[in-house]
Amino acid sequence: MKIYARITGTGSYLPGSPVTNNALIAAHHLDSSDEWIVERTGIRARHFAPEGVTTSDLALEAARRALEAAVCQPNDIDLIIVATSTPDYVFPSVATLLQAKLGHTNGAPAFDIQAVCGGFVYALSIAEKFIQTGTSRCALVVGAETFSRMIDWKDRSTCVLFGDGAGAVVLEASDEPGILASAVHADGRYHSILSAPGHLCGGQPIGDPLIRMDGQAVFKFAVRALADVAEETLVAANLPPEQLDWLVPHQANIRIIQATAKKLRLPPEKCIVTVERHGNTSAASVPLALDEAVRTGKIKRRDTLLLEGIGAGFTWGSVLVRF
Ligand code: UT7
């Protein structure tokens, strides 16, 4: 019998209090305005991890909530994948740090996926393959980021966009679908339009390890790639867009979300939108939006959802889910 992978629990975590646009502008003496940020991005506030709080700390809170929702104990988990581009250390991975913090001792594999804002859909589609092949029965898939640590506060075109947070799902083997279809892609020719182009050498940062972005190029690429991959995933599952209950897109910019929904001929009320309160939390944005929509009762069991992510690399993908 075919093994499906079903999401059995979701969780998320946002650190600290919301930081409004005006508070951010005042704190960093930015030549910007609440009006510009809201109109061009839809963002009104974001959260930042306090000093000393790391990506694995955020991942731990989100993971605990997802495990509780799935009624799972840490040692029920036989696969841990964390999508992040802002790990605590160069190594070991956030996934193994999370494993230790959870008190997880059954020896299951744990590893990170680095596909930036496309990371969660990558991680989810990989976990699905582990489950489909019978290698795993219960996977913990997390997106967690502390992008605040990589922001250039003098660059108004990027520093107003990002926030910190984490989201998680428990994915379990089931006779019932589950994940209906998924697709992931990358095109490295676009690596320079969004990057943090630095590295460590002799323990010192070399180059420019802060976020650099050609916003307009990213915007255009994102709208086209997200619409194409959404269509590819829906076709693979033979599902017309009108049968979707919810689009759960990467939360980078309300205008990208609206443009993607329009291309799919989906009404705006079918889009889960959290960007106004979370900003862009990179790999955490999709599971954060998913968990919030589940906990507020918008997304219900058996709803059909299309999860979508896109990020630097460029990487992108989507996962079609019967919740
Ligand atoms: O997670 C995936 C990665 N991220 C994305 O998906 C982001 C994709 N890109 C975007 O969301 C948008 O391109 C931005 C929000 C980054 C920028 O919006 P835009 O409408 O493309 O603005 P722009 O870059 O064309 O800039 C328009 C003007 C410029 O001024 P001039 O040259 O026309 O005088 C910018 O300097 O807006 C200026 N500007 C700002 N003004 C006030 C840029 N940032 C700000 C700011 N406040 N924070």
Amino acid at 36: W
> Is there a single domain that holds both residue 33 and residue 73?
yes
* Mean pLDDT in residue range 103-129: 97
Let me know: does 280 contact 84? Beta carbons within 8 Å.
no
List helix spans (H) across the chain: 21-28, 34-41, 55-70, 94-102, 119-132, 156-159, 215-236, 254-263, 275-278, 285-295
> Is there a single domain that holds both residue 70 and residue 217?
no
Q: How far is the CA of 155 from the centre of ligand 1 (A)?
A: 11
> Is there a single domain that holds both residue 14 and residue 130?
yes
State how many domains the chain has: 2
> Is there a single domain that holds both residue 27 and residue 170?
yes
Which of the residues 117, 138, 159, 271 is marked catalytic?
A: 117
Annotated catalytic residue 75: no
- The two tokens of residue 82 are 């964390």
* Mean pLDDT in residue range 165-186: 97
Question: pLDDT tens-digit profile of 151-170?
Answer: 999 999 999 999 999 999 99
Task: State which residues form the domain around 318.
Answer: 180-322
Distance in angstroms (rounded) separating the CA atoms of residues 188 and 36: 31
Indicate the residue among 176, 205, 233 that finishes a domain. Answer: 176
> Is there a single domain that holds both residue 199 and residue 135?
no
Nearest-CA residue for atom 26 of ligand 1: 157
* Mean pLDDT in residue range 171-176: 96
Question: pLDDT tens-digit profile of 52-94?
Answer: 999 999 999 999 999 999 999 999 999 999 999 999 999 999 9
Question: pLDDT tens-digit profile of 234-261?
Answer: 999 999 999 999 999 999 999 999 999 9
> Is there a single domain that holds both residue 192 and residue 103?
no
Indicate the residue among 150, 176, 202 that finishes a domain. Answer: 176
- The two tokens of residue 94 are 């956030």
Question: pLDDT tens-digit profile of 5-17?
Answer: 999 999 999 999 9
pTM of the model: 0.97
Q: How far is the CA of 281 from the centre of ligand 1 (A)?
A: 17
Q: What is the pLDDT of residue 1?
A: 83
> Is there a single domain that holds both residue 51 and residue 99?
yes
Mean pLDDT of the chain: 97
CATH of the domain at 13: 3.40.47.10
> Is there a single domain that holds both residue 198 and residue 116?
no
pLDDT band of residue 115 (cuts 50, 70, 90) is very high
**Mutational pocket test of ligand 1: of 29, 33, 40, the residue with most ligand atoms within 8 Å of the beta carbon:** 40
* Mean pLDDT in residue range 193-209: 93
> Is there a single domain that holds both residue 13 and residue 112?
yes
- 303: number of Cβ within 10 Å: 15
Annotated catalytic residue 106: no
Nearest-CA residue for atom 45 of ligand 1: 157
> Is there a single domain that holds both residue 68 and residue 98?
yes
> Is there a single domain that holds both residue 199 and residue 184?
yes
Nearest-CA residue for atom 6 of ligand 1: 252
Q: Residues near ligand 1 with C-beta < 6 Å?
A: 32, 36-37, 40-41, 117, 156-157, 160, 194, 215-216, 218-219, 222, 250, 252-253, 256, 280, 310-311
**Mutational pocket test of ligand 1: of 157, 190, 256, 288, the residue with most ligand atoms within 8 Å of the beta carbon:** 157
Annotated catalytic residue 117: yes
Residues 6+ apart with CB under 8 A from 166: 12, 13, 55, 58, 59, 61, 62, 63, 142, 143, 144, 145, 284, 287, 288
> Is there a single domain that holds both residue 17 and residue 142?
yes
Q: How far is the CA of 215 from the centre of ligand 1 (A)?
A: 6
Q: What is the pLDDT of residue 185?
A: 98
Indicate the residue among 158, 176, 194 that finishes a domain. Answer: 176
Nearest-CA residue for atom 9 of ligand 1: 215
